[in-house]
Chains A and B, each alone.
Chain A
Amino acid sequence: MSDAFDTLRAATRARVALGRAGDGLPTARLLEFRAAHAAARDAVHSPLDTASVVAALGTTGLDVLEVASAAPDRATYLQRPDLGRQLAEGTELPGGEHDLALVVADGLSPRAVEEHAAGTVTAVLERLTGWSVAPLVVATQARVALGDPVGEALGARIVVVLIGERPGLSSADSLGLYLTFGPRTGRADSERNCISNVRPPHGLGYAQAADTLAGLLLASRELGASGVVLKDEGTALPPGAG
């Protein structure tokens, strides 16, 4: 039977009207919270299954390269964002001249990449006929700004980084897309555009995300810039989010 507490629960996704055991939480509510937190923690700490991601991306027909950041392990990655923005010493990438480079980065949720990267990349490529696209790159222990040296080395005019976002309690598998025109080391976050929460069926779908990204790419190529100056669609990246 529906009561006034059900009215509260129906009004918000917040965890209202949980009830109490003494002054603590009922056991079922305690375990629900732990399960959500465990999924988020596991999403942060489970390493990217690069082999399966590379295989899935290979179906696009493009070459797939693997790189790593200068952060040697997860603990360092979490504490040293500066290292996650640099390529590991000795990394070599084939230079060229491309309209676009796509970098698939583990970020804070490798799980998001495993679940959504290939689907998103495929949908994006379908919308970019006539664009020359560099070999796809899979990057580990990577921050958004790792796309700058990667895009620069590949000779790409624009780089898009598809990266696992920081898991929330109810969304451990959210993928973010970050577009940067003229990638080179030292680009500011204000020079990027972001599409967040790609995560079907709960968040943005692949087709929807790819439509928005294709629009941004066309506008960016035309304008010769990205970030806060490019406001047609999507949103500028808030400071510090990289």
Chain B
Amino acid sequence: MTARRATLAGHTYEFPSLVEVMAKATPARSGDVLAGCAATSEAERVAAQTVLADLPLTTFLDEQVVGYEEDDVTRLVLDTLDADALAPVRSHTVGEFREWLLARAAAGDEAAISGLARGLTPEIAAAVSKLMRNADLVAVGRRARVVTGFRSTLGLPGRLASRLQPNHPTDDAVGVTASLLDGLLHGSGDAVIGINPATDSPAQTIALLELIDAVISRYEIPTQSCVLAHVTTTLRALEQGAPVDLVFQSVAGTQGGNEGFGVTLALLDEAVAATRELRRGTVGDNVSYFETGQGSALSAGAHLGVGGAPVDQQTLECRAYGVARHYDPLLVNTVVGFIGPEYLYDAKQVIRAGLEDHFCGKLLGLPMGVDVCYTNHTDVDPDDTDTLTLLLGAAGCSFVIAVPGSDDVMLHYQSLSFQDVLTARQVLDLKPAPEFEAWLQKMDLVDASGRVRELTADAPQARALLAAAR
């Protein structure tokens, strides 16, 4: 391709490749500096955005960021693209596409926005997001409707679900159960009850699956379980007849990144098909769960694109969504502040990335949630996670993750608390998934207005649930 250039205040900036246009148009973040692909000045960033705004969307069909021959993610995306779905916006530039999305969002036209998903490449979603402000990401994100189901229905308007994450440093059954019950008493768990196992073995996975399954069965909770073991471990558990609701895997946006996670597309095909065969869902058959996060490809050294140039981490993140959507997942979430300050340095970068990831995931047709989280060496605190949570609630985020008191004692990071989820629901007038809402009513865990009750330990509703702790 010929170099693209833009002139700002008398200075002409030149971008020799599409990879560079994308990288330098990206709002500032430490991971792109680390990769050596970030804009070197604010003016250069805007120049790149100016170039990007004028690119026709068809550029991304003709020209790749990561090569078709070298990378199976690129092949998967292009080989399964629905040309008809792109038709309404095919003639637009990236800048015009942004305006088209904002106009449809303002008109509340969910069908027009949501209908594009299978026609969009991850790079198109990434490109338009780079031109958008945070409020644009919220406004359009909330009109990209993606509804999925297993035992609960997720992604409906006016709902905010949560993954209850009862992790324990040694997978201790009593400890896990304590956190699980605490979450249920706070109205969490409608997206999934999902445990990150301390030990990734089939035996441990099966033990934890059976533990959650017993609680779900005992109280007839309309939700699903997941043990976030490696996909090969879940396959072993499936072979041994374990009660697997959802198959989980972390995925990245390049073939090399996925190899770093020890997965291939063929392996994912096999695991998703095997899980679907169990037919354990009641209201839907979305049986997979994927986690992603900006920076994962770079941390695996698998972030290079056409010409060996480093690809920016947000574009690579969108490509991970290109992998995930192939499997019609029930849940996908970015783990936005987990990876560390060398990828997302501070609250500004984490908040921006969380909104980008939600928007791009939804635009590409994913049931997108966010693990609103941080580590102690990142410049983020609970005030910042409040901000991101409320923005995500406004953006129609499908689900967030919650742990007791924000403190994950197994993974050693901070996510949201159960109270944070209640606050977001209260402030934004959001409800849990409908089936789970009905269960909370049945168990008398909510009052007539739908608010989760504050129970004493000897309240009958609490006693009924806490019986499972003995």
Q: Tell me if B405 is interfacial: C-beta within 8 Å of chain A.
A: yes
Chain A residues closer than 8 Å to B409, beta-carbon distance: 12-14, 170
Chain B residues closer than 8 Å to A81, beta-carbon distance: 34, 342
Chain B residues closer than 8 Å to A82, beta-carbon distance: 34
Shortest CB distance A171–B (Å): 8
**With known contacts A44-B376, A78-B342, A80-B34, A15–B407 Cβ distance under 8 A:** yes
- Name B179's closest neighbour in chain A (CB-CB): A14
**With known contacts A13-B169, A81-B342, A168–B412 Cβ distance under 8 A:** yes
Q: How large is the interface on A (under 10, 10 to 19, 20 to 34, 35 or more residues)?
A: 35 or more
**What CA separation (Å) do A43 and B345 show in the bound complex?**
17
Shortest CB distance A214–B (Å): 27
Q: Tell me if A29 is interfacial: C-beta within 8 Å of chain B.
A: yes
Give the segment of B125-133, B189-197, B206-214, B454-462 that binds chain A: B454-462
- Enumerate B32-48 residues with CB–CB distance to A below 8 Å: 33-34
**Chain B 162-184 near chain A by CB (<8 Å), digits 1 or 0:** 00001111001011111101100
- Name A40's closest neighbour in chain B (CB-CB): B376
Our pick among A13, A18, A166 for the contact of B419 (Cβ within 8 Å) is: A18
We find that the number of chain B residues with CB closer than 8 angstroms to chain A is 52
- Enumerate B387-415 residues with CB–CB distance to A below 8 Å: 403-407, 409, 412, 414
**What CA separation (Å) do A179 and B414 show in the bound complex?**
30
Chain B residues closer than 8 Å to A9, beta-carbon distance: 178
Our pick among A22, A44, A166 for the contact of B412 (Cβ within 8 Å) is: A166
- Enumerate A1-55 residues with CB–CB distance to B below 8 Å: 3-9, 11-20, 22-25, 29, 33, 36-37, 40-41, 43-44
CB atoms of A4 and B404 under 8 A apart: no
Q: Tell me if A129 is interfacial: C-beta within 8 Å of chain B.
A: no
**With known contacts A78-B377, A80-B34, A15–B419 Cβ distance under 8 A:** no
Q: Tell me if B201 is interfacial: C-beta within 8 Å of chain A.
A: no
Which residues of B are at the interface with A, using a C-beta cutoff of 8 A? 30, 33-34, 166-169, 172, 174-179, 181-182, 260, 299-300, 341-342, 345, 375-377, 381-382, 403-407, 409, 412, 414, 417, 419, 422-423, 425-426, 451-452, 454, 456-458, 462-463, 466, 469-470
Which residues of A are at the interface with B, using a C-beta cutoff of 8 A? 3-9, 11-20, 22-25, 29, 33, 36-37, 40-41, 43-44, 78-82, 108, 166-170, 239-240
